[in-house]
Structure 1
């Protein structure tokens, strides 16, 4: 049995239970660099598991683009740190997240980013794999680097399909 999801636009309010929306919407919080740069200040809470020896790292991911409808059963989470995805192109991407329900993911939700939006997933948030919808699928990823395992995977008993909005 395939279960259907319809993605909705990514907004700060809708995404708040899972993390922060990273964008430059509205007016900058500060003007810096002799008036030549707007700073959208402190947009995400980064958490790198300092208590377990974690530190911040920046990696580059090159993910294979997918298309809608998109079928998935696998989600994952990182219990020791947050994870931010910053697209290196202006192409939108698909974001899949799910609430935690007693150590397992609940019903997932799907979001479509607007061009120029990124996300920061809170520590422990269940989420789908990186899902660009256009080539190239290049992202800067800011997440925890450390010696301990920071990945849990879960496979739903039947797949979900994300349809065109």
Structure 2
């Protein structure tokens, strides 16, 4: 069966809200001056949830770039805790998400093109595709959970979805 082309949209706080938080320094984010006016603090940008008996840990993931077109055939979720990704390399990347709950169908998946200045925090249980760097090897600061119990479910999709270069370029504003 031929993969269905997935629509890609620019990452925006409102449309991503059902899946978690967008982490970025924008005018809408609560911010204020600290350190005698030398630093602007963008405050409380994501709800980090380490889950019961868990603790928040900080890691760096180094992602190899995905070649476009790219076919999505699986999704994963972390049922016990949130998982935040903040790009360190300043490069655009993609996220594919589906609502928490039963295994997602292709129709449930939303794909977002993220600027290199935007991070995401997946809420606990939200289905997502593993890291999708674009163009070059990219590093991400990751805040997630360490603790007892399994915290990663993986499912294969019944139908695959295709992310194309024109869709990504359009979502990034022609970049």
| SS at 2:50 equivalent | coil
Q: How far 1:21 sits from its partner (Å)?
A: 0.3
Q: How far 1:148 sits from its partner (Å)?
A: 1.2
Give the corresponding residue for 2:146.
Answer: 145
| SS at 1:100 equivalent | coil
- TM-score, structure 1 as length reference: 0.93
CA distance in 1, matches of 2:60, 2:100: 28
Is 1:104 the counterpart of 2:103 in the alignment? yes
Is 1:83 the counterpart of 2:70 in the alignment? no
Describe how 1:108-123 pairs up with structure 2 within 5 A: 108-123=109-124
Q: How far 1:99 sits from its partner (Å)?
A: 1.7
User: Does the 8 Å CA contact 1:89/1:116 hold for their aligned counterparts?
Assistant: no
Give the corresponding residue for 1:159.
Answer: 160
CA distance in 2, matches of 1:62, 1:104: 27
Give the corresponding residue for 1:30.
Answer: 32
Aligned residue pairs total 162
The Cα RMSD (Å) is: 1.3
Q: How far 1:72 sits from its partner (Å)?
A: 1.3
CA distance in 1, matches of 2:19, 2:132: 17
- TM-score, structure 2 as length reference: 0.88
Is 1:55 the counterpart of 2:47 in the alignment? no
Deviations 1:65-116 (A, max 9, x none): 1132211111000000000001111101000001235x21142110000121
Runs of 4+ in 1 over 4 A off after TM superposition: none
Give the corresponding residue for 1:45.
Answer: 47
Give the corresponding residue for 1:19.
Answer: 20
Q: What stretches of structure 1 of length at least 5 have no aligned partner?
A: none
